[in-house]
Structure formats: C-alpha cells, structure tokens
Structure 1
C-alpha cells in the first residue's frame, strides 16, 4: 500500500517564499559579496558593445544567459571568460 501525501496551500506558500528568497540571492549581491549575475546593460558597458552585438553573442552561443521574466541575466564568470579571450 502506498502512502498518499497531501500538499496544502500553506505548504505551497512556504515553498514560494523559499524559492523567491533563493532567486533573490542569485540575482542580487549580498553584503561583502561580488555580484554573480549582470543585466544586459551592465554587460554591454563592461564589454563596450552595442545591444545588437550582445544579441549576436546570445544567438551564436558565445554568451550564455538566463531569462527571468523579461530580464536577461548573465553570469559574471562567463563575462570574465570573454574578457580573458577564453570565450
């Protein structure tokens, strides 16, 4: 006989809170930490490129990104690889 577990609305609310907290930690720098994720404008400024060039880097797979809602985020680690010529 298999046990049946029920998920309550409170369980879902708690999960939502934990998930949102973790996402915020990923996309926002904490105290004393360097930023791990950058938005498109920050990447363009760092690399000195236009929006079209950034789009081409995404399309051809040179620069990986994560889209949250309508905002694209890029790992600082990946940007550093491009700056060092390893991308």
Structure 2
C-alpha cells in the first residue's frame, strides 16, 4: 500500500514564495556585475539626459535598442561605450 500525501493551500503558497525568491536571486546581477539590459528610465538617469535626448540618440543611431512589449531596452555595454566616448 502506498501512503497518500496531502498538499494544502498553505503548502502551495509557501512553495510559490520560495520559488519566486529563488528565481529573483538567479536573475539579480551579482555584486560587481551590472545588469545586461537597461530600461529607458535607467538610461536617462545614468546619462542625466531628458526623454527627448534619449529619443534623439535612438533616432540618429548613436544608441541601439530593442523593444519588447512596448518597453525599450538598451544594452549596458552600449551605454558604457557612450560614456567612455564622451570622456573629457
């Protein structure tokens, strides 16, 4: 005879919570490592630029981007390159 194990709603909630915590930890960049993709708001803050300036950088091809689900993403390496190219 096999034993039957019951799973309660609380068990499922705990599992969900633990799973989400583990996934977030895996997706979070480790210390000293930057995020690979940045959103527009992060780029504007990093470069201290306005939305219009960011749009101009996209239009003139200075800054590459990808669009997913209505959100624009930029590679952190491209942002770093722009910052280094404009060192004075």
TM above 0.5, one fold? yes
* Aligned structure 1 segments of 4 or more residues deviating by more than 4 angstroms: none
Count how many residue pairs are aligned between Structure 1 and Structure 2: 59
Give the superposed CA RMSD: 1.9
SS state at 1:79 partner: helix
Q: CA deviation at 1:77?
A: 0.1
Alignment counterpart, residue 30 of structure 1, candidates 28, 31, 42: 28
* Alpha-carbon distance in structure 2 between the residues aligned to 1:74 and 1:44: 11
Residues 29 and 35 of structure 1 are in contact (CA less than 8 Å); yes or no, is this contact kept in structure 2? no
TM-score, normalization by structure 1: 0.62
Q: Using CA pairs below 8 Å that are at least 6 residues apart, which structure has the higher relative contact order?
A: 2
Q: Which residue of 2 is the match for residue 42 of structure 1?
A: 42
| Structure (1 or 2) with the larger CA radius of gyration | 2
Give the gaps of 5 or more residues in structure 1: 1-27
